[in-house]
A and B are shown apart, each in its own frame.
Chain A
Amino acid sequence: MKKEEVFDLIVQRLMDIVPNLEKEEVEYDSFLCLLGGGSVERAELIETMMEDLGLVAHRFEFHTAGNLGELADMLLEKMTLP
């Protein structure tokens, strides 16, 4: 899976999680809090992505992501680890 595909999945999930969010508003350097998401939405996004990608990891590992692009990077890195 490419980074762009992981990010597209993040955007797709965010559309369900953050009401009234437009796809065009979400960019690599977007902050979830500025898009209208709080701590519950952040946790839900991470949980949903982990399930979608079939990752077995501690969700807290992803809480250090500075923005949505970094989250995509971290998820991808976890996927490609042996």
Chain B
Amino acid sequence: MNVTVTGLGAITPIGIGIAKFTEALKNGDTHFSKILFEKEGVDYTFPIGNTVGFDFREAVSRLPLEQEVMDRVLRMRNLSKSASYGMYCALEAWCDAQLQDAVSDRSRVAIVSSGSNIQQADLYENYEKYAHKLRFLRPNYALNFFDTDIVGALSEVLGIRGEGHAIAAASASGNMGIIQGCRLINSGEYDTVIVVAPLMDLSLFEYQGFTAMGAMAGADETTDVSKLYRPFDRAHAGFVYGQSAACLVLESASHPVQRKQQGYGSILGYGISMDANRNPNPSMQGELEAMKKALDHSQLRADQVDYINTHGTGSVIGDKTEVEAIIAMDMPRVKVNSTKSLIGHGLSAAGAIEAVASLLQMKEGFLHRSNNLDNPIHEQVQWLRETEYTGDVDHTLSNSFGFGGINTSLVIKKN
């Protein structure tokens, strides 16, 4: 593999922008609360890792963008919340990679957006608003409801003329977007791929659906949400949704060298496997296969892996299955944490924000604590529990698994 990560962008419940997110990871910060809905006289309460204080125009205005690009961004109308989160992250990553003057041929740049059905809250709001006056529905709905709206908007803002599309793999979408970006670069067709994972913005229906399935942790007015989300702890009881978005700028290894850009790290390899199972239940064999394939693809031995950024959702069966797969991998010195325990489960954006978290930890030489991991479900794993680890982290395995038996794993090397 021949792919370097040169730019990052992030919005999470614990920090907006890469600098604040890095600091929050070091501190092991969390930001969980509850979200309330009312529908036909019935109240619905759900836990959430919520992002507060994000103002798109104000945040974008602080980025060191060319005036022409800034003007185009600020003229954008009808961006959903999901798309505006993705747009900010992509522009932050673009600036971070210092690509403004470095890409003369923008037909050699591609855009991959991770996730499908990512704007549910926005669509639901439209359904409610126009339920009784449908004939006045705004025409931009027909443009904006597509998951590719962010792709088109971003291409317009940055003048990108290569290919662009959205790729989905349920909660493994973030990793799958990165994998797709690697494939595009390794094909030789593109020098640069912007992999953006917009916010998966849930409506009442997704909250209720995940809760009905038993996947999302339940909450009521008496629940202490600071204690609710507990990946790999014996008291785990499902996932808590977290509002995150992320972007990684991928480049062929030789491309950033021309402008003396070292980058954060490299994607050394990836593994994908399916379980031949439509359902949400995971498979130890499938997860093991994805991790093994990722190591084989990277030409790395299991004992060379320092750290696993787990899928770690807090699902009872999911946590147990992933631990079994990790133990079966026989990685004697690997340290393990769950970024979701701090920021919640970003669903289609989870893999991307966790790859960002992995790269930031490797660059800064630390591994963050896991929240609420008081009594781990298994003692044979080197958990990062209450305190963070400080030291070199050269190779990371980052797992993302999705409903429908989709297993993915990335191997990331520090540059």
Contact = CB atoms under 8 A, between A and B. Distances in A.
Interface of A: 17, 19-20, 40, 43-44, 47-48, 50-51, 56
Main SS at interface, chain B: loop
A20 B139 contact: no
Contact of B136 (A17, A19, A47): A47
B139 A50 contact: no
Interface string B135-161: 111111001000000000000000000
Nearest to A52: B136
A17 B140 CA distance: 11
B143 A40 contact: yes
A44 B75 contact: no
18 contacts: A17-B77, A19-B74, A19-B75, A20-B75, A40-B139, A40-B140, A40-B143, A44-B138, A44-B140, A47-B136, A47-B137, A47-B138, A47-B139, A48-B136, A50-B135, A50-B136, A51-B133, A56-B135
Contacts of A19: 74-75, 77
Contacts of A44: 138-140
Nearest to B74: A19
A17, A40, A43: which has the most chain B beta carbons within 10 Å?
A40
B69 to A, nearest CB: 15
Given A19-B75, A43-B139, A51-B133, 11 more contacts: A19-B77, A20-B75, A40-B143, A44-B139, A44-B140, A47-B138, A47-B139, A48-B138, A50-B135, A51-B136, A56-B135
Q: 6 nearest interchain CB pairs?
A: A43-B139, A51-B136, A19-B75, A44-B139, A40-B140, A44-B138
Nearest to B144: A40
Contacts of A17: 77
Contacts of A47: 136-139
Contacts of B77: 17, 19
Contacts of B74: 19
A17 B77 CA distance: 8
A48 B143 CA distance: 17
Nearest to B143: A40
Interface in B64-92: 74-75, 77
Contacts of B139: 40, 43-44, 47
Contacts of B143: 40
Contacts of A20: 75
A65 to B, nearest CB: 16
A68 B64 CA distance: 38
A13 B139 CA distance: 15
Contacts of B133: 51
A36 to B, nearest CB: 8
A19 B139 CA distance: 17
A12 B133 CA distance: 22
Residue of B133, B135, B137, B139 contacting most chain A CB atoms (<10 Å): B139
B71 to A, nearest CB: 9
A40 to B, nearest CB: 6
B175 to A, nearest CB: 34
